[in-house]
Amino acid sequence: VKDYELRQYETAKWVSTVIRGETQKEAMHQGFWKLFHYIQGKNEKEMKIDMTVPVTCLVKAGCTDFKISFFVPFEHQDCPPQPTDSNVFIEERKAAALFVRSFGGFASPEKYAEEADTLARTLRNRGQPFHEDFFYTAGYDSPFKLFNRHNEVWYFKK
């Protein structure tokens, strides 16, 4: 297994919400449901949208705000329906190169932090410059999937 991979992401739209002043676990839970309601039709077109992966969470050093996001499916990328919940918004993430570390199992915030530490250490050891003050967690499975789960941590390449 490789320690990490370098991935190039294209510009893309995500639907996001920021949860403040909660634990990461609680923020993930609250954020997930806000976004889930959006794809279930809590949007201007009252349109149901397919659930896509990954679900990401932006974790900033020393910060208790967590931004939870769902990837907007390809068929809605050009024109995603606007959220009707004022705490949910569409954001465009610019194309970027990301260092990605993958791991299995059920990922707790502690596990994500540990994997991010490992990735950061590896990148420093190899002299790979990256933005150290934040990382993304990415989950690819429904909570009901028990085996062969796939999780990632992402750092942005400098």
For the stretch 31-42, pLDDT in tens is 999 999 999 999
For the stretch 59-92, pLDDT in tens is 999 899 999 999 999 999 999 999 999 999 999 9
**Residue 22 is part of which domain span?**
5-156
CATH number of the domain where residue 110 is located: 3.20.80.10
What residue type is assigned to position 6 of the chain? L
Tokens of 97: 């190169």
**Residues whose CB is less than 8 angstroms from the CB of residue 44 and which lie 6 or more positions away in sequence, other chains included:** 81, 82, 83, 84
For the stretch 92-140, pLDDT in tens is 999 999 999 999 999 999 999 999 999 999 999 999 999 999 999 999 9
Tokens of 54: 């990954």
Give how many domains the chain has, as a whole number. Answer: 1
6 neighbors 152 (Cβ within 8 angstroms):
no
